[in-house]
Amino acid sequence: MPEVKLSTISKHYDEVIAVDSVNLTVHNGEYVALLGPSGCGKTTTLRIIAGLTLPTEGDVFIDGKHVTYAPPGNRDIGFVFQHFEIFPFWDVWDNVGYGPKLRGLDEIEIEKRVWEALKTTKLTDKADNLPDELNTPELQRVGVARALATGARLMLFDEALGALDPKVKAIFQHELRKIVKKNKLTAIHVTHDQQEAMAIADRIIVMRKGRILQIGKPTELYYKPNDIFIANFLGESNFIEGVVSKVTETGSEIRLRDGSILRTDEKAIKGGRRVIISIRHELLKLQPFERFSALNFIPGKVIGYRFLGDRHSYEVKLDAGEIVGVKEFARAPPPFKLEDPVTVRMDTSLAVLFSYPSNGLAPHLSLE
Ligand code: ATP
């Protein structure tokens, strides 16, 4: 169960800074996800851990050993890519046995490892099949089996589930996590899919532009994002502008642009400050418009609607100016239609306050 430590790792490609001073410790037996938009440096970080890319600066330690310049073969790592090389004229058994054979193990040990790996990945009945007789999820299982059969205790997954259909993917996420936990492996899983990261990982490392923005358990990142980008990237959030009108012992009141007031449990933001309130779609509820003013009841008009099966998803233009998303459980046909005036009730107990960014909101909402 190896521990992985990255110490101020950077990787430059001419002017491009792919990875920028990354410090990270992945503990023994931990399953972490490296999450972020395309081009944020996830794969480069993973390749540096694997020894496939040399960092420009910094050090890599696996189990306390300095391995920055060690070749991949000396790091005892199992690697699964989305598109991995598979020998087309070899059956599943031989493909899975390739790693242990390369390591010079004897026939009995190879046989044991391949059998175990096929059992774990539910491929025993496919052992004699050629790759072109398998479907995509089965091929992906071969990739995992091959990595397991090497006997490596550290698994690196690079968008390994990226080619799967959503339903198959959900099943595979569950299985992959079970395999890692049952075999007491350490896993680092690169994905740009925030749902996958939340479903699979003990901790998520959110990267943007080569840097780590936040590391935490899925619930910590979801409910306590430390950055507007994360609040936007994980799940679906609304961002409402206001000015702090009152700070009390238990929270703050924020005046929106139409004069309505949102009360949040967060304090420590000075009165008079311009702020952004980040509040998730599922924490908003619609009710028929009523002409009254109360904290956290904000007037608006329905301007969009989508049926999501289990949810009604509305778009509401607030009198304060913002367009917000509202997601409600769909127990019956939608109770509101386009152009309906509504009052949006906001549960602000899990809302997060951010200082208004000096460079405006847009750069923080960009998914780059
Ligand atoms: P994706 O999900 O699209 O693979 P990523 O988060 O894994 O993205 P990386 O592949 O690590 O990102 O790339 C980070 C940055 O480094 C990108 O701007 C990319 O174009 C650049 N980059 C990566 N590899 C090379 C290379 N071999 N030569 C030049 N630039 C590179």
pLDDT in tens, 263-290: 998 875 676 889 999 999 999 999 999 8
Contact 95, 131 (CB under 8 A): yes
Question: Ligand 1 centre from 39 Cα, in Å?
Answer: 5
Report which protein residue has its CA nearest ligand 1's atom 27. 13
Number of other residues whose CB lies within 10 A of the CB of residue 102: 10
DSSP strands (E only) in the chain: 4-13, 16-26, 31-35, 57-62, 65-66, 77-81, 154-158, 186-191, 203-208, 211-216, 237-247, 252-255, 261-264, 274-280, 284-288, 297-307, 311-318, 323-329, 341-346, 352-355
Work out the percent of the chain whose per-residue pLDDT is above 90. Answer: 73
Domains of the chain: 4-228 (3.40.50.300), 236-356 (2.40.50.140)
* Confidence category of residue 237, pLDDT binned at 50, 70, 90: very high
| Ligand 1 atom index nearest CA of 45 | 11
Question: Ligand 1 centre from 41 Cα, in Å?
Answer: 6
Contact 200, 38 (CB under 8 A): no
pLDDT number for residue 269: 64
Beta-strand pair 31-35/186-191: parallel
Token couple for 167? 């339903």
pLDDT number for residue 268: 56
Note the pLDDT tens digit of each residue in 58-104: 999 999 999 999 998 889 899 888 777 788 899 999 999 998 888 88
**Most informative mutation of 9, 12, 13 for ligand 1 (most atoms within 8 A of CB):** 13
Question: What is the Cα–Cα distance from 3 to 27, expressed in whole angstroms?
Answer: 5
Question: Ligand 1 centre from 63 Cα, in Å?
Answer: 27
Question: What is the Cα–Cα distance from 214 to 237, expressed in whole angstroms?
Answer: 17
Residue type, 21: S
| Ligand 1 atom index nearest CA of 14 | 29
Note the pLDDT tens digit of each residue in 294-327: 889 999 999 999 999 999 999 999 999 999 999 9
**Most informative mutation of 20, 44, 196 for ligand 1 (most atoms within 8 A of CB):** 44
83 Cβ partners below 8 Å, 6+ apart? 163
Is the pTM of the predicted complex or chain greater than 0.85? yes
Question: What is the Cα–Cα distance from 182 to 241, expressed in whole angstroms?
Answer: 47
| Ligand 1 atom index nearest CA of 19 | 14
Question: Ligand 1 centre from 48 Cα, in Å?
Answer: 12
Contact 110, 100 (CB under 8 A): yes
Measured at the CA of 36, the angle between CA 76 and CA 281, to 5 degrees, comes to 135
Contact 257, 280 (CB under 8 A): no
Report which protein residue has its CA nearest ligand 1's atom 2. 38
Report which protein residue has its CA nearest ligand 1's atom 24. 44
Note the pLDDT tens digit of each residue in 143-171: 989 999 998 999 999 988 887 788 888 88
Number of other residues whose CB lies within 10 A of the CB of residue 224: 14
| Ligand 1 atom index nearest CA of 46 | 11
| Ligand 1 atom index nearest CA of 159 | 2
For the chain, where are the alpha helices, taking DSSP H only?
42-50, 92-102, 107-120, 136-149, 166-182, 194-200, 218-223, 228-233, 362-365
Report which protein residue has its CA nearest ligand 1's atom 20. 39
Note the pLDDT tens digit of each residue in 24-43: 999 999 999 999 999 999 99
Report which protein residue has its CA nearest ligand 1's atom 17. 39
Question: What is the Cα–Cα distance from 252 to 248, expressed in whole angstroms?
Answer: 6
Question: Ligand 1 centre from 302 Cα, in Å?
Answer: 41
Question: What is the Cα–Cα distance from 4 to 26, expressed in whole angstroms?
Answer: 5
Contact 231, 364 (CB under 8 A): no
Report which protein residue has its CA nearest ligand 1's atom 7. 43
**Most informative mutation of 11, 12, 42, 188 for ligand 1 (most atoms within 8 A of CB):** 42
Any idea what DSSP says for residue 14? T
**Nearest of 352, 292, 343 to residue 320 by alpha carbon:** 343
Report which protein residue has its CA nearest ligand 1's atom 19. 39
Phi-psi region of 148 (alpha: psi -120 to 50; beta: other; left: phi over 0): alpha
Any idea what DSSP says for residue 334? -
**Nearest of 221, 324, 342 to residue 279 by alpha carbon:** 324
Question: What is the Cα–Cα distance from 136 to 1, expressed in whole angstroms?
Answer: 29
Pocket of ligand 1 (CB under 6 A): 13, 16, 18, 36, 38-44, 192
**Most informative mutation of 16, 38, 47, 212 for ligand 1 (most atoms within 8 A of CB):** 16
| Ligand 1 atom index nearest CA of 40 | 6
